[in-house]
Structures are given as C-alpha cells and as structure tokens.
Amino acid sequence: MAPPHDGKTAAVFEEESTPERRISSVLFVIAMQTEASPLVDKFRLIEEAESVFPEGFPWVRYYGKYKDLNINIVCPGKDKALGVDSVGTVPASLLTYASVQTLRPDIIINAGTSGGFKAKGASIGDVFVASHVAFHDRRNPLPKRDIYCIGTRQAFSTPNLVKELNLKVGKLSTGNSLDMSPQDAAGIISNDATVKDMEGAAVAYVTDLLKVPTIFLKAVTDIVDGDKPTPEEFLLNLATVSAALDRAATQVVDFINGKSLSDL
C-alpha cells in the first residue's frame, strides 16, 4: 500500500492525527488586513519573503512561533485591480485549500468581523464562537439541492474553551454581500443565525473535505437589525472591534497551547 502524505508510515500518520496528540500548528484564515494586523503584531509574526502560493497571487502569509505553537496567518490580500481586501467566499475557500495543503495545520481558526443580530443577543464588540455555519444566499428549491445549497456544517466543538474564556456561542450564516436582501434575511432566520459574515461557511466546506478541525471566531462590528446603516457602522467600529477580536484570539491561542484537540 502506498504510504500516506509525505511518505510517512501509516503508524506515524495515525499517531500524528490522534486527538490526544498536542496541537503544534495553528492556522488563522482572516479576510481583511485590518483584522489580521493586531494579531500579526501580538504573535510577532513575520511576513514571508518568498510566497508559498503561486506567483502573482495577492495572498499573504505571516508566520512564527508563539509559545509552543507554530502560528500561520493567511489573508487573501488586496484585489489586484482595485486594491481592496479580497473578502467573500471564493477567495476564502481557495486560500484555505491551498494553505492546508501546504502548511498541514492541526487546527484552523477563521477569525473575523461579522454583523450581529440584537434579537439573538448580539452587541457591538461581542466575540462569538460559531456552533454551526451555513449559507444564506444559495437557493435551489429542488429536493436535496435546497439542503445542499444551505450547506449547514457543525463547527469543531470546543466546550472547555468557550466555558473557560466565557465566549458567547451562536450560529453563523454566510453570504457574499455586506447588505441583506429580503431573501437573505429569510435564509438567515431559517439558519437561526446570531452572526452573519462573508467567509465562514466557505471555509467550513473546505475544512470539512480536508478533515481539519475548525473554530469560527467572529467579532460583531455592526448590528444588522439595528437602526444604523451597516456600511457606516461597520467602518466606524472596525478598528476597535478588531482589537477585541485580537484579545479573544490571543486568549484562544493561549488556551490551545500545550493542549490536544480532545482537551478543547
């Protein structure tokens, strides 16, 4: 039988995959540079000089060692024509796939900002861990295709982590728009979501295929069912909420350090 990945023997591979082994490598997938920067500073990461990604791609990787962990942060970078962050599901899923294939992390944290629903208990600056992720902007009424489109997936369960760090838990709904059409709103309600973003369910699609445990850490920049227009509220709160996200992400990494998957 051909040896699995990297020519490792089956025994070694099995040992490395066991949930009892200490986590050694954490990969952050972060859509926006503003969200990533405080964490890059906190973990004292450096930007790689020679990209592991294909030539000409805008994707950015920061790496380094923090405590006992190898940390990588990847961002989809700036759109080549427009110079704005490459947010949304398509860059997020491609970047996640390529990063897992190259970096082989033990665990992924998709960290970022999100819209929150006050009717479900969200406030500006809250940091949520998603229990489930799903899409709200993919529709097909045909049997089974409807369920395929919604694409609900359970996040990696971290009961000890959320208890210890006192993090809020809620469902995350993903779509490719910052605004919310009436049809999106119906999808979000049916997904029972507390927070809404533009990447989570796309990252989950990939990490489910690749079997990499994934935590979704989402900080609330704007209240979707409030009275302020989302783009203004988002921009107003982006810097301070990114700092809150940074604090929570650091606590999560400190908690993970020295532990195995089954401890989380």
Place of tokens 């979707």: 224
d(CA 28, CA 249): 10
Place of tokens 């190259």: 102
Q: Which spans in the chain are helix H?
A: 10-17, 33-42, 89-103, 145-150, 159-165, 182-190, 200-210, 230-256
Determine if 114 is a binding residue for ligand SAH (CB under 6 A).
yes
- End-to-end CA distance of the chain, in Å? 34
Determine if 96 is a binding residue for ligand SAH (CB under 6 A).
no
d(CA 96, CA 85): 16
CB 201 within 8 A of CB 151: yes
Nearer to ligand SAH, 3 or 231 (CB): 231
Identify which of 263, 259, 252, 262 has the alpha carbon closest to the alpha carbon of residue 24: 259
The answer to whether 222 is a known catalytic residue is yes
Binding to ligand SAH (CB under 6 A): which residues in 217-256? 221-222, 224, 230, 234
Nearer to ligand SAH, 106 or 191 (CB): 191
Identify which of 193, 183, 165, 185 has the alpha carbon closest to the alpha carbon of residue 253: 165
Binding to ligand SAH (CB under 6 A): which residues in 176-205? 178, 196-199
Determine if 93 is a binding residue for ligand SAH (CB under 6 A).
no
- The distance of closest approach from Cβ of residue 115 to ligand SAH in the complex, given in angstroms and rounded to an integer, is 2
CB 58 within 8 A of CB 76: yes
- The distance of closest approach from Cβ of residue 41 to ligand SAH in the complex, given in angstroms and rounded to an integer, is 20
Q: Which stretch binds ligand SAH (CB under 6 A): 5-13, 48-56, 109-117, 245-253?
A: 109-117
The answer to whether 35 is a known catalytic residue is yes
Q: Which stretch binds ligand SAH (CB under 6 A): 9-17, 19-27, 160-168, 216-224?
A: 216-224
Catalytic option among 85, 106, 197, 222:
222
Nearer to ligand SAH, 26 or 203 (CB): 203
Q: Which positions are annotated as active-site residues?
A: 35, 222
What is the contact surface with ligand SAH in residues (CB under 6 A)? 31-32, 84-85, 87, 112-115, 178, 196-199, 221-222, 224, 230, 234
